[in-house]
Amino acid sequence: MVARSRLVRLGEKVRAFLELSRISNVPTVISNAFAGSAVGALAIGNTSLSAVAGNGTVVAAACSLFYIAGMALNDLADREIDRAERPSRPIPSGRVTPEAAFGYACVLIVAGLSLLLLVDAAALITGGVLVALVLAYDLLHTRTRWSVLLMGACRGAVVVAGALAFGMPSQPIVVMLPAALLLLYVAAFSLVARHEADLLTPKPKEECPRCSYPARTASERCPECGTDFLPKPPTADDLRRRAVFGRLLGGLPLLSAVLLHSAFTPARPPSAMDILIIVLLITTIGFLLAWTTTAARLVEQTPPKIGPAVTMWIAGISIADAYLALLCRSPSVACLCIACFFLTRAGQRRIAGT
């Protein structure tokens, strides 16, 4: 009985750290790193599977550690907010102490940087920049809505780290463009995600800050003195407008398609492999557009289903990575990215992704 009780406690502790880590979303970081490696390999003319697999695996492992550390630090920074809005989260519920979360994050960051030492100085520098972006986001995300750009930049930096593991390409735009498009995609749905708690948490009536009139009104203005009640929660119309980002940004990979093909498509008649890749590209972008549009429609419902929509957008990152890998003529990497998509969706059913 004692041994069984210890196993139960150990299982509960492991689950608490998995929730703290948002472990279900980690496959999307892995697909980011491998897609970036496919870009870097193509940029230097070395598209061998062994080269992509070797560098991609190390960068994916390091960036996954950075992502998990960032999630732990995010919960640590938000522990007072979570105590009011999400008391079941690992830190406010007492399942993970703040000291344990901080130590966990520090160990992961050191381990990630140590892994990048095995690859290349450029990848290590990019990893350091990624860690700085993670820390900046965790410190600033509650202070300004523009912090969503930092969240997007973290994802873009993973693609850059994967690409620079092969050295600096002669055409940097080939690396920077996919990273920038990923930044915009992640920033857009992160902007919507910021309002998830506003709809889940009942809003108490407030006193007017000027005359102390006790009730919030439908007009959001004090009926006694006319002062605005602050802060105002987002309206359904606000969220619907933001859902448009999900529809528009799902098509951004089309821009990268034009530029990458103009840079790398050989001037020769298309082979059977070329035709196959074109068919796969059309299929992948069609699925990505349908997926992001379905997520946007969840936000447009009344009441908006922000959590499920955001988890869909997160999983969609791996589909965009598969598309990028196909552009770089790496169908094997594209298959890995698609596998990451399914792993993410399976994990999100067990461990919350937001």
How many of the other CB atoms lie within 10 Å of CB of 138? 22
Percentage above 70 pLDDT, the chain: 74
Render pLDDT for 176-208 as a digit per residue (tens, 0 to 9): 888 988 898 888 888 877 766 555 544 444 555
254-298 pLDDT, tens digit each? 555 555 555 455 555 667 777 788 888 888 888 888 888 888 888
- Reading the block at residue 104, the tokens are 């966990």
3-state secondary structure the chain: CHHHHHHHHHHHHHHHHHHHHCHHHHHHHHHHHHHHHHHHHHHCCCCCHHHHHHHHHHHHHHHHHHHHHHHHHHHHHCHHHHHHHCCCCCCCCCCCCHHHHHHHHHHHHHHHHHHHCCCCHHHHHHHHHHHHHHHHHHHHCCCCCCHHHHHHHHHHHHHHHHHHCCCCCCCCHHHHHHHHHHHHHHHHHHHHHCCHHHHHCCCCCCCCCCCCCCCCCCCCECCCCCCECCCCCCCHHHHHHHHHHHHHHCCCHHHHHHHHHHHHCCCCCCCHHHHHHHHHHHHHHHHHHHHHHHHHHHHHCCCCCHHHHHHHHHHHHHHHHHHHHHHCCCHHHHHHHHHHHHHHHHHHCCCCCC
Average pLDDT over residues 35-52: 76
Q: Could you report the per-residue pLDDT of 115-134, keeping only the tens digit for each? A: 988 877 877 888 899 999 99
Average confidence score pLDDT of the chain: 78
Give whichever of 223-232, 237-246, 266-275 has the largest mean pLDDT.
266-275
pLDDT at 220: 54
Q: How confident is the model at residue 189, as a pLDDT?
A: 84
More confident residue, 351 or 113: 113
- What's the confidence (pLDDT) of residue 65? 95
State the pLDDT at residue 94: 84
Q: Write down the CATH superfamily of domain 10-196+204-348.
A: UbiA prenyltransferase (1.10.357.140)
Write down the pTM of the prediction.
0.81
Looking at residue 99, its pLDDT comes to 92
For the chain, give the longest Cα–Cα distance. Answer: 77
Domain borders along the chain are 10-196+204-348
On whether the CB atoms of residues 293 and 247 are closer than 8 A, the answer is: yes
- Select the highest-mean-pLDDT range: 141-150, 285-294, 330-339: 330-339
| Residue 353 vs residues 71, 249, 255, 338: alpha-carbon distances, Å | 11, 21, 28, 18
Q: What is the pLDDT of residues 18-43, one digit of tens each?
A: 888 889 999 999 999 999 988 888 87
Indicate the range of 26-40, 140-154, 225-239, 321-335 predicted with least confidence.
Answer: 225-239
Confidence at residue 216, expressed as pLDDT on a 0 to 100 scale? 47
What integer pLDDT is reported at residue 341 of this predicted model?
96
For position 294, what pLDDT does the model report? 87
* Residue linked to tokens 């300004």: 144
231-240, 264-273, 338-347 — most confident range: 338-347
